[in-house]
């Protein structure tokens, strides 16, 4: 989720399952946004090998590239 171009957190399938689909129009995205675990984040200055090793260590398929609180992109294991 972005507010004022600042990265706030994540929303995933588990988060959205808090409410039945019939209630989705009564809730906002900010209600289901959760803080992002630091293990999912990486800065653009990190070398590719370090990024790959971090993904391996945490069993991640994707990592969020963040700098100064701004989401710059998503690094995907399949794209490496």
Question: What does the block give as tokens for 73?
Answer: 């992109």
- Please give the distance of CA 26 from its chain centroid, rounded to a whole number: 24
Neighbouring residues of 43: CB distance < 8 A, sequence distance ≥ 6: 65, 66, 67
Residues in CB range of 32: below 8 A, 6 or more apart = 11, 15, 16, 18, 19
23-75 pLDDT tens trace: 888 988 888 888 888 888 999 999 999 999 999 999 999 999 999 888 899 99
8 Å CB contact between 62 and 77:
yes
pLDDT(18) > 60? yes
């Amino acid at each position: 989720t972005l507010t004022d171009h600042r990265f706030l957190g994540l929303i995933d399938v588990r988060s959205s399952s808090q409410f039945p689909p019939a209630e989705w129009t009564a809730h906002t995205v900010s209600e289901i946004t959760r803080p992002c675990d630091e293990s999912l984040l990486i800065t653009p200055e990190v070398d590719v090998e370090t990024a790959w090793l971090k993904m391996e260590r945490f069993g991640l398929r994707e990592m969020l590239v963040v700098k100064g609180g701004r989401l710059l992109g998503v690094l995907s294991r399949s794209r490496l």
